[in-house]
A and B are shown apart, each in its own frame.
Chain A
Amino acid sequence: MQDLGIRVLFEGNNLLRLFNGLLLVVELSAIAVFCSIILGICMGALMTLKNPLVKFLTRFYLEFIRIMPQLVLLFVVYFGLTRLFGIDLSGFTSAVIVFVLWGTAEMGDLVRSALISIPQHQYDSGAAIGLTKPQIFRYIIVPQTLRRLIPLAMNLTTRMIKTTSLIVLIGVVEMMKTGQQIIEANRYTAPSAALWIYGTIFILYFILCYPVSLAAQALEERWKN
């Protein structure tokens, strides 16, 4: 019975179809991570401002996004926006919107904590040896911030890749949906296909995330002061 199931994987272009689904996952994660980094840096810089209104707004945004499960956000954007404003978004577009909103909040918080973790004396010492403000940022603050930020940002990336699995629930045909289609198509000829297909998807997600988390760990070790 089990050899019947694994056969399905290699039949026709099934494996290729799964890889296409994987590509979609990679594409979504790449777009989301790229936008989140750019917007997150702005957000983080905003969060270090002393202005109470800015502080309140950014804090509120961060806490709200953080407290909502990503799936709820996906539902709100995918079903809610369509109803409220009549904007007809595809599942993929809604996913991009939610991931960027979420990524910006999380990334912003990481940038903020990295920025405020630089002790004041670093700024002062820079000023004391006669560096201008841009020079202080360019040569002292940014390199140190990046060292703290990059491993954390990579961890956030793996979280985003993992969260992309949810988009199947708002009807995007990605890896999981493709897997379901393959299982359905072979329901009678290979009943045990589900085990193999879902097992493969499990491994594929692992292959996607594991190198990133390994690299994050390695960088964290290396840059530990």
Chain B
Amino acid sequence: MDVNFIVQHIPQYVDAAFLTLRLATIGIFLSLLLGLFCSLLIYFKIPVGRQICSLYIELSRNTPLLVQLFFLYFGLPKIGVFISSEACAIIGLTFLGGSYMAEAFRSGLNAVETSQIESGLSIGLTRLQLIRYVILPQALATSIPPLCANFIFLIKETSVFSAVALADLMYVAKDLIGLYYKTDEALLMLVIAYLIILLPISLLASFVERQVRYAGFGN
């Protein structure tokens, strides 16, 4: 184990980790929006929109991110749609994450009792008010545990970004192995880097989950 080598290459890993985190944050934010939008369309049974969303969810949930990325990055340019690798990574992550988020929101929405909605309507709330003040707060509280699980899942999925030429953690590790044959050191740093990123998030997620369970909205 070459400690000097490790110390020397920490900055590279830090840069890569920030790239991973930046792309993951944008991707997660966009997939939250997409997921919320889809789940509301399905929940309120909007014609056409609902079918499109269901189709999208099934397509995205049943195919791997790597294949989606390859299609976006290598396939689409052939019909004249050129996407940079960063944009491609964000689009891919959003395409994948949107459906998982939609499912998480859907389980929350379905958990809201019909009596809540009827009570809201009977005191004269408009549909938007009903969504804003009655349905969403309760649904979100139930959705938080699966949403947290999705955050972690999506951050883990970013590890395939190296396949579309982004200098993420995997890419740096592969690079160091290829350049210097320092396999052990590169892999050790890779594992540690992911632990540093994911362990706090995972701990935070289980903490939030417990808090929400205590909150026990509506029960």
Contact = CB atoms under 8 A, between A and B. Distances in A.
B212 to A, nearest CB: 18
Given A72-B159, A75-B187, A191-B78, A205 B199 contact: no
A165 interface: yes
Interface string B182-194: 0110010011001
A82 B156 CA distance: 24
B67 A71 contact: no
A79 B170 CA distance: 13
A129 interface: no
B117 interface: no
Contacts, number: 116
B79 A75 contact: no
A168 B67 CA distance: 11
A209 B78 contact: no
B171 to A, nearest CB: 11
Given A67-B194, A72-B191, A75-B187, A169 B163 contact: yes
A194 B78 contact: yes
A119 interface: no
Nearest to B173: A75
B184 A84 contact: yes
Given A79-B187, A162-B63, A205-B67, A198 B157 contact: no
Do most interface residues of chain A lie in helix, strand or loop, or is the interface mixed? Answer: helix
Nearest to A79: B183
Contacts of A69: 156-159, 194
A213 B62 contact: yes
A5 interface: yes
Interface residues of A, number: 44
A69 to B, nearest CB: 4
B74 A198 contact: yes
B159 A165 contact: no
Contacts of A166: 64, 66, 160
B58 interface: yes
Interface string A210-224: 100100000000000
B65 to A, nearest CB: 8
15 contacts: A1-B79, A67-B194, A69-B158, A70-B156, A71-B159, A71-B160, A80-B184, A169-B163, A183-B74, A192-B79, A195-B79, A199-B71, A199-B75, A205-B63, A210-B58
Interface of B: 58-59, 61-68, 70-71, 74-79, 152, 156-160, 162-163, 170, 173-174, 177, 183-184, 187, 190-191, 194-195, 198-199, 202
Interface of A: 1-2, 5, 63, 66-72, 75-76, 79-80, 82-84, 158, 162-166, 168-169, 176, 183, 191-199, 201-202, 205-206, 209-210, 213
